[in-house]
Chain A
């Protein structure tokens, strides 16, 4: 095996030096009455979705993280995915009933419904969703393996791409921030990268064998991180399609991944309720936090503002925990 694929051995003492400290800043207890399946941050707020039918929106600009809005009963059977666009006031949610809804934040900070994807969707078929940074494209994976891309800034939100795969359940999907690539992670371990400009398959990546539950592009769209039931996080070079690292350390299935704004750190969350922060430069885990004893469905960095670096965790214990980097 290529030695560069292995995590670099780091002596214990050095590990201590290179580790980072994160402190619990705030806990939103019982944010939902059911498993929190998705967290989606904006520069000023944190949207969350769960097995209940409503989307909750908490402010992240005031120290008490107050609830500022509830989108009531929007997916009656529960919400399995919720994403926000990095640089636009747009969100998309997917419910167990099979619908995908688009949301927009108004000038007053209130979120309102902005339509539904209707084109070519069969109930229960669509699964994971992803938005491009500018909010104009939406990608969905599906049970039958197809990957769809819709253009949200055109009238009636037409479908502009439909990628065929080998028919295996697409558990996860990602759009690169520049909107150029779509990636999908599948139950049989397959990972595909599609070029949205040409509408063709760019890479079929070295398989992880086990289900791939999260795929996510680095901010500069250079790297793709993928994690799942292999309990490792694989890093791929998007241009070459080569695997460049394998981050091991989780002892449960990896359910969620998120890059920090700068691309220096990767946050991962696993089924055994552990969250880990990885330093990409050294390929090492620099922090581990436990979020109770239930699956950790979602771990997300909050967009960096004047304060120190923060991230949020949500999962099967119905609670949202906000962590911040310890000063100096």
Chain B
């Protein structure tokens, strides 16, 4: 692991290491760019050959992990193992209009990627879609074939010079020093900051950050930011939301922090429903769909985040500890608005998730199995806002949970800080 020194302000030694890292990544980037350009050109070359030779069929062969689920996953117990991609052959003119259209879409996307690689400019998937909305029909079409092409070439999407529009938001006591001298302080951004794309020469200072909290939903993220306790919470944390299932940019950002600052604990707060656990799983173990982002990124750990801890919401947060309270409390609980019935879709999703190797008997995530089964038994789910009702306020709940968690996890001075937060809580209003 890296030394503590890296977290401190630049010193001559650090400049040196930073410089070495920078030049290394430039050469790597250039190399991969040249490789990808060559691969695209050879793909186009084959199509051209097909055109000039009337006997030969025109086709593009793609590798895809679309529509692969964790169900019956191979290599149970090792979440890093992913199933091999499926081979897809798109022919032209093909057997129907649909296939001809798909061929056109892929050729056009190849062309866009090729030109952005040649110019070495970065393009967002949104930009690509708006170049030809009539051809692509919807954003998901672009997303799918860009990912399939990355998978086919065995590179990450960013190596195609394509990025997703930043979706995630961050806030907290961090300082981002850009190479160009720009300096952003997390606490000065009242509405949160779009998750930045970190360049090798950027410096993210997290000296004051005691824990990192990933929040599933933007509304909750904003509620935390707007709460009276944010001054205390924000001063010692970094919080992030990717607004639902996380995008690659948010996952990369968290992975970067985990690599650079491995001692800072990371927690996730998601809804108590199958999607909440699936979102947690995407942060923690990645998605099969984008497995090529994991393997081809030149970091050994890829984008997985096994250190992420599940803070909540779990079944015992909703109901437990109630037993010893007064009767009136539990009466309120049963009538709590935040409890909802599972939909048929929720039940099917939970059932499919129980088939994941992660949730199998003896699988890596035994706790997920228990919680999914309890959801099915109670036929109930709860959004994280339920903590407002159960614990008085979600933010107070966070303060006490994280205080306890930090204390239990290590004996760092942070424990005392968190305890102070608890007791001084009311003085702040």
> Which of A's residues lie within 8 Å of B, judged by CB?
33-35, 37, 51-53, 76-78, 80, 96-98, 123-124, 143, 169, 171, 187, 210-211, 229, 231, 251-253, 271-274, 290, 293-295, 297
Q: Of B323, B334, B377, which contacts A210 at CB under 8 A? A: B334
Residues of A within 8 A of B30 (CB): none
Residues of B within 8 A of A293 (CB): 320-321, 323
The CA of A124 and the CA of B341, in the complex, are separated in Å by: 16
Residue of B330, B361, B377, B379 ringed by the most chain A CB atoms within 10 A: B377
Residue of A35, A51, A169 ringed by the most chain B CB atoms within 10 A: A51
28 A-B residue contacts at CB 8 Å? A33-B366, A34-B366, A34-B370, A34-B373, A52-B361, A76-B361, A77-B354, A77-B355, A78-B361, A96-B351, A97-B354, A143-B344, A211-B379, A229-B334, A231-B330, A251-B327, A252-B319, A252-B323, A252-B330, A271-B319, A272-B319, A272-B323, A272-B330, A274-B323, A293-B321, A294-B316, A295-B319, A297-B377
B73 CB to nearest A CB, Å: 14
The CA of A96 and the CA of B255, in the complex, are separated in Å by: 35
A79 CB to nearest B CB, Å: 10
Are A51 and B373 touching (Cβ within 8 A)?
Answer: yes
Instruction: Encode contact with A along B146-190: 1 for CB under 8 Å, 0 otherwise.
Output: 000000000000000000000000000000000000000000000
Q: Of A51, A52, A97, which contacts B351 at CB under 8 A? A: A97
> Is the CB of B322 closer than 8 A to any CB of chain A?
yes
> Is the CB of B285 closer than 8 A to any CB of chain A?
no
B324 CB to nearest A CB, Å: 8
Number of interface residues of B (CB under 8 A): 27
> Is the CB of B113 closer than 8 A to any CB of chain A?
no
Are B376 and A96 touching (Cβ within 8 A)?
Answer: yes
Residues of B within 8 A of A76 (CB): 360-361
Residues of A within 8 A of B322 (CB): 251-252, 272
> Which of B's residues lie within 8 Å of A, judged by CB?
316, 319-323, 327, 330-331, 334, 341, 344, 347-348, 351, 354-355, 360-361, 366, 369-370, 373-374, 376-377, 379
Are B334 and A253 touching (Cβ within 8 A)?
Answer: yes
Residues of B within 8 A of A294 (CB): 316, 320
Are A143 and B334 touching (Cβ within 8 A)?
Answer: no
Given contacts A78-B369, A253-B334, contact A124 B351 (CB under 8 A): yes
Residues of A within 8 A of B355 (CB): 77, 97
Given contacts A96-B354, A97-B351, contact A273 B334 (CB under 8 A): no
* A-B contacts at CB below 8 angstroms, number: 79
The CA of A121 and the CA of B260, in the complex, are separated in Å by: 53
A53-B361, A97-B354 known; 5 new pairs, CB 8 Å cut-off, are: A123-B351, A143-B347, A171-B379, A274-B323, A297-B377
Q: Of A123, A169, A295, which contacts B379 at CB under 8 A? A: A169
The CA of A33 and the CA of B354, in the complex, are separated in Å by: 16
Residues of A within 8 A of B354 (CB): 77-78, 96-97
A31 CB to nearest B CB, Å: 15
Are A251 and B373 touching (Cβ within 8 A)?
Answer: no
Given contacts A187-B379, A252-B330, contact A35 B319 (CB under 8 A): no
Q: Which residue of A has the minimal Cβ distance to B328?
A: A251
Residues of A within 8 A of B341 (CB): 169, 187
10 residue pairs, one from A and one from B, having the closest CB atoms: A272-B323, A77-B354, A251-B330, A51-B373, A251-B327, A124-B351, A53-B361, A78-B373, A52-B361, A229-B334
Residues of A within 8 A of B334 (CB): 210, 229, 231, 253
Residues of A within 8 A of B319 (CB): 252, 271-272, 295
Given contacts A51-B373, A251-B330, contact A273 B323 (CB under 8 A): yes
Q: Of A34, A80, A251, A272, which contacts B376 at CB under 8 A? A: A80
The CA of A77 and the CA of B366, in the complex, are separated in Å by: 12
Are A35 and B330 touching (Cβ within 8 A)?
Answer: no
Q: Which residue of A has the minimal Cβ distance to B321?
A: A293
Residues of A within 8 A of B369 (CB): 34, 51, 78
The CA of A210 and the CA of B336, in the complex, are separated in Å by: 12
Residue of A77, A171, A272 ringed by the most chain B CB atoms within 10 A: A77
A208 CB to nearest B CB, Å: 12
The CA of A250 and the CA of B351, in the complex, are separated in Å by: 31
Residues of B within 8 A of A272 (CB): 319, 322-323, 330
Q: Of A80, A169, A274, which contacts B373 at CB under 8 A? A: A80
Residue of A143, A295, A297 ringed by the most chain B CB atoms within 10 A: A295
